[in-house]
């Protein structure tokens, strides 16, 4: 008999701070003692681009803040709350160190490449850290190939994958599919394809949703 699993589909972007915070809260939920009797969790990452029209080369962070928030003052106010939420989740986000806002299509393609080899979680984590902590430009194919190598994957194969137009189109199609399902904000969690939770909810809320999903199986 096949061992039951709890599928956790996460729609998110790698330049979304709430997605990083939500990832930590999901991990905290799965680590709660009350989660010990749940089936084995299998996390599957799905793409969502906060800025699908972003140029391939990205834009300056200053320009991005002007366009998105009307300028640095309003952005500072918003990101102050993000930093506080990040710290409460164990993250020290270096948002001020970001110099270029990237297009994330290729980064999502790298996650798809990694998931085929069982390294999706690790590569997702490395991409989030690269952007929010190390302030690397994850819109660069060179940087993505390096991150793949750091995760123990074949850098050459990763480079070819994230440069392949068919793979990039697959990401764009998956993004469009998520929007077609009504996903308009991320992170967005779907447990056992039954119970959906939007936003970086607290671990207890995520665990409750997991229990509902398992009970309705």
Q: How far apart, in whole angstroms, are the C-alpha atoms of residue 192 and residue 121?
A: 18
For residue 66, give both structure tokens. Answer: 């002007």
Which residues contact residue 79 at a Cβ distance below 8 angstroms, ignoring those fewer than 6 apart? 17, 95
Domains and CATH numbers, the chain: 5-52+103-215 (3.40.30.10)
The pLDDT value recorded for residue 9 is 98
Do 184 and 12 meet the contact criterion of CB atoms below 8 Å apart? no
Q: Which residues of the chain have pLDDT under 50?
A: none
What is the separation of C-alpha 14 from the centre of its chain, rounded to a whole number of angstroms?
4
The pLDDT value recorded for residue 135 is 98
The continuous run of DSSP H or E covering 197 comes out as strand 195-198
The pLDDT value recorded for residue 1 is 63
From 190, 192, 159, 212, select the one nearest 48 (Cα to Cα): 190
Handedness of CA 161, 165, 166, 167 (dihedral sign): positive
The pLDDT value recorded for residue 26 is 98
What is the separation of C-alpha 213 from the centre of its chain, rounded to a whole number of angstroms?
22
From 69, 151, 166, 57, select the one nearest 111 (Cα to Cα): 151
Q: What is the pLDDT of residues 5-35, one digit of tens each?
A: 999 999 999 999 999 999 999 999 999 999 9
Number of C-beta neighbours around residue 205 at 10 A: 15
The pLDDT value recorded for residue 210 is 98
Q: What is the pTM of this model?
A: 0.97
The pLDDT value recorded for residue 132 is 98
Look up residue 39 and give its DSSP letter.
P
From 121, 122, 109, select the one nearest 165 (Cα to Cα): 109
Peptide bond connecting 187 to the previous residue in cis, omega within 30 degrees of 0:
yes
Q: What is the pLDDT of residues 178-195, one digit of tens each?
A: 999 999 999 999 999 999
Which residues contact residue 170 at a Cβ distance below 8 angstroms, ignoring those fewer than 6 apart? 109, 112
Q: How far apart, in whole angstroms, are the C-alpha atoms of residue 207 and residue 185?
A: 20
The pLDDT value recorded for residue 3 is 86
């Amino acid at each position: 008999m096949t061992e039951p699993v709890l599928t956790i589909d996460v729609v998110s972007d790698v330049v979304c701070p709430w997605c990083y915070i939500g990832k930590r809260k999901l991990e905290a939920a799965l680590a709660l003692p009350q989660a010990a009797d749940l089936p084995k969790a299998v996390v599957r990452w799905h793409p969502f681009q906060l800025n699908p029209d972003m140029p391939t080369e990205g834009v300056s962070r200053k320009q991005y803040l002007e366009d998105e928030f009307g300028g640095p003052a309003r952005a500072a106010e918003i990101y102050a709350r993000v930093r506080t939420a990040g710290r409460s989740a164990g993250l020290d986000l270096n948002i001020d160190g970001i110099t270029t806002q990237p297009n994330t299509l290729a980064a999502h393609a790298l996650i798809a490449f990694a998931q085929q080899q069982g390294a999706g979680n690790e590569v997702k984590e490395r991409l989030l850290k690269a952007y929010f902590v190390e302030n690397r430009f994850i819109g660069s194919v060179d940087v993505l190939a390096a991150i793949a190598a750091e995760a123990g994957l074949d850098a050459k194969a990763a480079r070819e994958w994230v440069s392949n137009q068919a793979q990039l189109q697959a990401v764009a199609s998956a993004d469009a599919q998520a929007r077609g399902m009504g996903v308009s904000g991320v992170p967005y969690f779907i447990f056992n394809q039954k119970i959906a939770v939007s936003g970086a909810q607290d671990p207890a809320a995520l665990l409750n949703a997991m229990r509902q999903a398992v009970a309705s199986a």
